[in-house]
A and B are shown apart, each in its own frame.
Chain A
Amino acid sequence: MKSEAAIKFPLQDEVGPDTRGADVLVQALEREGVDVVFAYPGGASMELHQALTRSKKIRTILPRFEQGGGFMAHGYARATGRASVCMATSGPGATNLVTCIADAFMDSIPMIAITGQVYQQFIGKAAFQETDFFGMTLPIVKHSYLVLKKEDLPRIVKEAFHIATSGRPGPVVIDIPKDVQQAIWQPTFPATIDLPGYKVDKPIANDDRLLPVLDAICDAKRPVLYIGGGIISAEAHEDLRLFAEATGLPVASTLMGLGGFDSEHPQSLYWFGMHGTVAGNWAVCDSDLLICAGARFDDRITGKVDKFAPDAKIIHIDIDASEHNKNKRVDHAVHSDVKHALSRLNALIKETGFTKPDLREWYSIIDGWKKEHPFSYEESEHILQQEAIEVLYQESKGQALITTGVGQHQMWAAQFYRFREPRTYISSLGLGTMGFGLPAALGAKVARPDKLVVDIDGDGSFLMNVQELATAKIEKIDVKVLLLNNQHLGMVVQWEDLMYESVRGQTILSDPDNIGGPDNPSGIYPDFVKIAEGFGIKSRRVFKRSELREAIREMIDHDGSYLLDVIVPYTEHVLPMIKQGFSAKDILIK
């Protein structure tokens, strides 16, 4: 007889000794496996920082701006899939986190934002550094807490992590008044939590909903699989590959889904939408069956909604039922965790004797588009943004983890750095927050110290969180910045060129009377090399194509953070482009 325990003991709540509230919080975070917190102290949160100094498990990283800390947490969560933690004090510290919370909400990122709050006796009295942070963040959180009873704190932390990471992930706010942080009591760490309104956190489709998907594929002549960020957050990329190969379907991704399907796979249409591939956009538009898995029919994907895949039967697999029929009417909605749906579909393919449809004719059209309209650019005497990214791709052997700011460089990064694995393109996609790139790179590097992490940034975006160079230096976090410096807000300039007769409405970043650029080095402003030097970060500026490869090599090989200031013209447009409100057929190629 084996002597294994036959009786299963139910999990027991644990009661600790007399503990200060701030330490209760830190212990609760440790119990959730938190190993790093991005936190900026202040009057209403310094008690928490004091407790963090006593933790042996948690590394506390000081950003130089609360928003920087929020985006570091964002980068950490997206690089790992685990919930990350940022922290700020009450009032302005908390309001500086609002953009980060909105960003995490739009891109479904598991992030816990902890804020200090004034003593409960001062709440509602317009006390120094008081804001109603719970009220302010209501529309941009998955859930939120204001801790009014100290005894609730351990349970709230446990619930917050469960809510942030399960189902469709998202941000959770915990606002902790200072009296709770300072109170001393015997905390009870609950073994289980009970959320009566949140039972179906992982919906599972039954076979009745899934079998019609296979039937539809059998009947299709021009099917396309449209994938999004859900593939990444559900860790379903391997199930997706098996499903795509078993059915033969071509796969077009959103930017959120980038890396969810190998871009070099023969069935890949890479990514589609406003600046995506011609083949991806046209294939979706001409499809007779569109299977959407873990994406949400965003306006940058659909363009004009009624001209989006107008002849297709549309199947939508999503964990969030509120996405079904929200932006586009679908024919068959499957409410399911996408990993379950795909793995079960793969099993059904084997069980039911499914035969792959003959898609040779469809692929001959698609492959023609791919061949005729790859992402491309015309070489110039100057370094172009696209060329710089291409060289980075070659020199890093496609192995880097890339973060970006927002604008033209963000699109070119997705076009010319080819993403083959999940969690390698980290970008603010739903909210589109400039200044995201550098702090997100720092967070990603903390999470993945083994990876080369490069922030591909623009001069406008980079300046918005440039102070985080100090965090890179002092915390010894080794990130590279490939700064594509065109002295303009390039994407807005592009729209001005296309729609406003090139009238510049505050889109020039250097002196408008002496605009810097490859042909006018003396006008370049600001001097990013000197800025980096001031922060103690190694830096170099390049103008010449002949220097580019060697400079990128130097950046990669440098032991420590490095800023490579690449001077590029502002006249390049991101192509292809589907203008806002138009459809895939109106795509601008030249």
Chain B
Amino acid sequence: MEVSSSFGPIDIAVSGMQAQNKQIGAISSNVANAQSTDNGDGSPYRRLEAIFRAVGDEIDGVTVDEIAADMSEFPRILKPGHPDADDQGYVSMPNVDLPIEMINLTVATRAYQANVAVMKRYQRMVESTLELLR
């Protein structure tokens, strides 16, 4: 993508929107699985996070390479009757912190809106150029 293109900023804003979309997807998965003690392989659900990466060295937008798992420790709570409890009655819970997820959700939503704002503003800019043809 050349920098001189009139549509570069639109493509970049779209890439930003798509990236934030994936981030929101990861957050919703985290929120939905905040209590999932079994991931299918015996360990609790691991918090996911979208990893953003700039495309190329030039002005080319953003992409989400991978949805990485948060490797921090699982909190343990005492729940002796739980089927996933260990010998001492402790259950490993997902490393999801709901308040943090909600903050991240706000950040991602605002970032998405910012990308939309950039696109709208750029659209108005080009339209004002086209006014020259009136």
A and B found bound together: no
- Which B residues lie at the A interface, using CB under 8 A? none
- Which A residues lie at the B interface, using CB under 8 A? none
